[in-house]
Amino acid sequence: MIFSFDIFDTVIGRRVQKPVDIFHLMSTRLMAEHPDVPHDVAENFHDLRRKAEGDARRQSAAEDINFDDIYDQLAKTCSLSKAQRDFLQTFEFRLELENTRPIHANVKQIHDLLQQGERVIFISDMYLQSKYIKQLLAKASPIFAELPLYVSNECGLLKQTGSLFKYVLEKENIRPEKLIHRGDNPVADLEKPRSLGIGTNFYDRSVPSHWD
């Protein structure tokens, strides 16, 4: 048996109410701390960043895109230099790292499974590449950065469509009934894996007291 876990809003959460609130926070920080960043970019970062991601997705032939694709598009739209582009990308990830926290109920469940000798893997629909995600996971528990990670932007496949689960089953060389997946998204973590015969253990985020 293999146990897989979604990552964002399952194993780690953010201190902001919504993921895109990071972009509002970034705008505020840029205007206060980095006057060298073009003012219109800093002031309107939330909208520009969301537009860049949307444009990058529309232009991609793959099911998902990565962090570099988004910032390449932002640099093109805003006429940023390479140094400006790289700084903003690094700054965004720094804010992500600062604002993540473990969801302890699920962190404990993973630790318990590992102590029992079970195989645990992570499966995520996310634009951040694994090198970034592993840093976020390590903040929750250092051992998590060593566990297998299947991320949509590197596979070019999504949980949301079911194709990433099919890819995982093939790579792990297991039948669907040998995988139990836990996550918080009703479609990507419940409906799609169940439709493939994968066992599910739904994480209901509406239940309180999972966060510090």
Query: How far is residue 6's CA from residue 14's CA, in Å, rounded to a whole number?
Result: 15
Query: How far is residue 154's CA from residue 129's CA, in Å, rounded to a whole number?
Result: 7
Over residues 109-117, the mean pLDDT reads 98
CB 6 within 8 A of CB 182: yes
- Number of alpha helices (DSSP H) and beta strands (DSSP E) in the chain: 10, 7
Whole-number average pLDDT of the chain? 95
Over residues 64-81, the mean pLDDT reads 98
What letter would DSSP give residue 15?
S
Is residue 57 predicted with pLDDT exceeding 90? Answer: yes
Cα-based distances in Å from 181 to 43, 64, 201: 40, 21, 6
Length of the chain: 212
pLDDT at 211: 30
Over residues 124-139, the mean pLDDT reads 98
pLDDT at 17: 87
What are the DSSP E strand ranges found in the chain? Answer: 2-5, 12-14, 100-102, 119-124, 149-151, 179-182, 199-200
Percentages of the chain per state (helix, strand, coil), in multiples of 5: 55, 15, 30
Over residues 52-63, the mean pLDDT reads 96
- What are the tens digits of pLDDT across the range 164-212? 999 999 999 999 999 999 999 999 999 999 999 999 999 987 544 333 3
| pTM: predicted TM-score of the whole model, two decimal places | 0.93
pLDDT at 110: 98
Over residues 128-154, the mean pLDDT reads 98
